[in-house]
Amino acid sequence: MTITKRNALKLGIASFLVNLAGNTAAKETVGTKVIVVGAGIAGLAAAQQLQSQGATVIVLEAGDYIGGRIRTDMSLGAPFEFGAGWIHGPDEKNPIKRLADRVGANTFVTNDDSLEVFDTQGQPLKGEDYDRMDRMYDRLQRKLYLRGRRRDKRSIYEAITEIEPELLNDPLGRWMLSAYIEFDIGAGIEDISAANAFSDTSFDGDDVIFTDGYDAILAPLSDGIDVRLNSTVFQISYGKDGVEVNGIEADYVVCAVPLGVLKAGTIAFDPALPSAVQDAVNEIGFGTVTKIALKFDKPFWNVETQYFGVMTEPKGRWNYWLNYRKFSNENVLLGLSFGQYAPVADKMSQDDMTKDAMEVLQSVWGEAVTAPNAVLTTHWSQHPNFKGAYSYPQAGGSIAQYERFEKPIGNRLFMAGEHTVFNYHSTTHGALMSGRRAAKAIASLW
Ligand SMILES: Cc1cc2nc3c(=O)[nH]c(=O)nc-3n(C[C@H](O)[C@H](O)[C@H](O)COP(=O)(O)OP(=O)(O)OC[C@H]3O[C@@H](n4cnc5c(N)ncnc54)[C@H](O)[C@@H]3O)c2cc1C
């Protein structure tokens, strides 16, 4: 298997992006007061940078913890990451890698090529099947992306229907589209823009996980910051004299809540967001990905294999599994659901989700599958503070829509979050860079 998930199709738009990663600001911010809404990595990065330059900063967070979509649970004896699991492209330029180094975090390279895929009958694929999948992927890449037109409004599904329809009826093709594209982009191929899906960029290096938990990187960003938990913001007022949020007045506000929350209209903006920004809120997609961790007394799988694929139907149903035994002593399998199946899975109770995922494991390992002794699940689209997992370029939308979040609004309101950086959207490093961008913009105004 030579497919590597995130990097195969990137077109390499590296230009201004590294500047966003720097944490030097144009001017000091002594004497200014800033409210940051949302204590995810974007909000914390903005707060930390502003405070280090002398600003008074208050972070208002709706939840009862910091980190938002970076959230680790160690109850299984190894990290269950509700949200971000990997540093994508952990090279020296990646600011998450730099944070990881700063806190001395232990990381482990998860080898995408260490993969066993099982067909619809639960039988392992043969060598020639992997070769066929490689060829299908290459062909798709050539036809769809390299000849893709920027103005193409079609979804990936619609484009494939025209150029490679047999892929959609081939179980191997369906698995590949889901486990690679739908996982990476966080939505169904029926909804993702064919033209823009792979126009973002990435850092180099094989993806790594944190063996002691992703949330270790939050400490340097949150130490000494006035974060007020359980403080949901419902209104942001901004004008020429300043801003007011939850009755607190300040000079500037950074709004770093997830795109799903903006779409839901949880926060009323006074005055309303400019129509171009509101259009971006409406037209950029926000999908979901569902995770289940099942812990067993004994492994019934090959503990030497990093990933297992299962060609399930409906497409996206628990079709990709991460084996924890490669980096811990825990007999844990982490299952993932993608695409249009993920919102279905998100709505299941923990018991129903467990039954559903166990059926998939039994389709491969039969009676060897024992009852799990611990289970953890995610339901991102059901959570009022998130309403989904991460943003994606939706069919019909444009890259320019993301760029509308980059400019200050009325020189008082600054948007941050993974959905505001097209080139690194849906990643922790993109979110962090957006927070630093907001801090830098405030410093240059003050
Ligand atoms: C399942 C899943 C898997 C992922 N995998 C990866 C991965 O492997 N690698 C990677 O790089 N990225 C991954 N991501 C994406 C990454 O986690 C996010 O891009 C990043 O963490 C987003 O940070 P943020 O600061 O923009 O938003 P968030 O972390 O969502 O922070 C926003 C904060 O705003 C708060 N909030 C919401 N509404 C309000 C309100 N009204 N008032 C006050 N506060 C509010 C929320 O509670 C939250 O704490 C994954 C995400 C998910 C969900």
Residue 24 has pLDDT above 60, yes or no: no
Tell me what pLDDT residue 148 has.
58
Residue 199, pLDDT score:
85
List the structure tokens of 232: 């949901």
Stated pTM of the model: 0.94
Q: What is the pLDDT of residues 244-272, one digit of tens each?
A: 999 999 999 999 999 999 999 999 999 99
CA distance 254 to 263: 17
What mean pLDDT do residues 109-133 have?
95
With a CB cutoff of 8 Å and minimum separation 6, the contacts of 335 are 291, 292, 293, 294, 318, 320, 321, 357, 360, 361
Confidence of residue 142 (pLDDT cuts 50, 70, 90): confident
Query: Above pLDDT 70, what percent of the chain?
Result: 93
Instruction: Report the residue among 41, 69, 437 best suited for mutation to probe ligand 1: largest number of ligand atoms under 8 A from its CB.
Output: 69
- pLDDT-based confidence at 151, cuts 50/70/90? confident
Compute the average pLDDT of residues 91-100. 97
pLDDT of residue 144: 72
User: Nearest residue CA, atom 52 of ligand 1?
Assistant: 83
Radius of gyration of the chain (CA): 22
Q: 3-state DSSP call for residue 38?
A: coil
Region 367-380: mean pLDDT is 98
* Half-sphere exposure at residue 199, Cβ-oriented, CA atoms within 13 angstroms: 23
Residue 428 has φ and ψ, to the nearest 5°, of: -70, -35
Region of poorest pLDDT, from 30-39, 60-69, 129-138, 251-260: 129-138
The CA 171 to ligand 1 mean position distance, Å, reads: 33
What DSSP letter does each residue of 362-374 carry, written as one string? HHHHGGGPPPPSE
Q: In 3-state terms, what secondary structure has residue 332? A: strand
Residue 343 has phi, psi (to 5 degrees) of: -65, -30
pLDDT of residue 380: 98
ω into 165 cis (within 30 of 0): no
Distance separating alpha carbons of residues 70 and 148, to the nearest angstrom: 34
pLDDT tens digits, one per residue of 405-423: 999 999 999 999 999 999 9
* Segment 273-319, tens digit of pLDDT: 999 999 999 999 999 999 999 999 999 999 999 999 999 999 999 99
Atom of ligand 1 nearest to the CA of 267: 41
Q: Read off the tokens for 6.
A: 């995130």
The whole-number pLDDT of residue 143 equals 78
Alpha carbons 129 and 433: distance in angstroms, whole number: 40
Q: Ligand 1, atom 49: nearest CA belongs to which residue? A: 68
Return the SS3 of 275.
helix
What's the gap in Å between 69 CA and the centre of ligand 1? 3
Please state the rounded mean pLDDT for residues 179-206: 93
DSSP 205-229: S--EEETT-GGGGGHHHHTT-EEES
Which pLDDT score is estimated for 150? 66
Cα(179) to ligand 1 centroid in Å equals 22
Ligand 1 atom closest to residue 86's alpha carbon, by position in its atom list: 8
CA 426, chain centre distance (Å) = 4
